[in-house]
Amino acid sequence: MSTKKKTLSDNKLIHLARLARGLEAGGFYNAAKVCWAAAYSEEIRHSLEQGLPLSQEELDLEMGAALDYLEASGAQPELIRALEHGRLAVRENRIIPHTEIPDVFVCRKCGEIILSVETVDCPACSAASITLRRFPPVYFMEPLFPAQAVAALASAPCELEDTIQDLSEGQLAQPPRPGEWSIRDALLHILVSEELMIGRMKKILSEENPDLQAVAAWAMDENRSISTRVILNRFRISRQETLQLLAGIQPQDWWRTAHHEEFGSLTLLEHVSYFAKHERDHLRQIFLIRQALGA
């Protein structure tokens, strides 16, 4: 993308953000939300146009550029250190513990960035801690309503069955391009994630603020020999157990907490919301794989 186009995009974003904040100040909240949405849409669309850095080499290079930019703009030393921790983790291909990069907040009043293990008022302008914007490690963790999360989990088995029912095992095991996942690979990943989710749910419901170890679900896909239909059947059985477990909890149980090695403190609702959204991402992936195969 040319420098001119980047500048135009930056100007649009600043204008939309200024307008949104001005509308909020005037009490025109429903108009403000449109401007915030338009600004976020610009970010997504332009990032897709420029292409996402996905390889370790690309990520390392772009993080180096980001560090140079932040240092030149006078960013806080703790922010620089946090991104340096992230860059090292990318180079070593490992998770980033919450102890290395704690929760991140931005003050909606003055723009100050705060990294803290506990919620604090803005040190720059004293804005109340509850007014700061928290940035979760991934949007999957933004909590759904309990009924919404349960409905998403409940509908997944039938949606998967409808998507693959007329495909042969050969088609299900065929990646659309060399090195990419097949439908079977994606479905096995969904099964492993489901089994990880229910194990953690039981731990959160039976223990007080248990410790949860960070696990890469893709690294747990060990059952390479079983057929796709067996994978789907195992998923359906486990999902039934999950739904029965959730149906039997009390409303206050959704707020039971655990401490996650990577994400810090999280509630049962955040945990379930994470897996419900993660699963939807892979349901879309399976649909796109099928399209790519022309099936």
* Per-residue pLDDT reduced to its tens digit, 163-218: 999 999 999 999 999 989 999 999 999 999 999 999 999 999 999 999 998 876 55
Per-residue pLDDT for 241 more than 70? yes
Per-residue pLDDT for 1 more than 50? no
CATH number 3.50.50.60 is the correct assignment for the domain at 141-293:
no
Q: Rounded to 10 degrees, what is the CA torsion of 115, 117, 118, 123?
A: -30
CA distances from 285 to 54, 86, 120, 201, 223 (A): 17, 27, 39, 25, 20
Model pTM?
0.88
Average pLDDT over residues 86-100: 95
* pLDDT tier at 39, thresholds 50, 70, 90: very high
**245 DSSP 8-state letter:** H
Per-residue pLDDT for 222 more than 60? no
| Placement of tokens 């204008």 in the chain | 15
Q: How far apart are CA 280 and CA 162, in angstroms?
A: 15
Per-residue pLDDT for 10 more than 90? no
CB-based burial, 114-145: b 16+ in 10 Å, e otherwise:
beeeeeeebeeeebeeeebeeebbeebbebbe
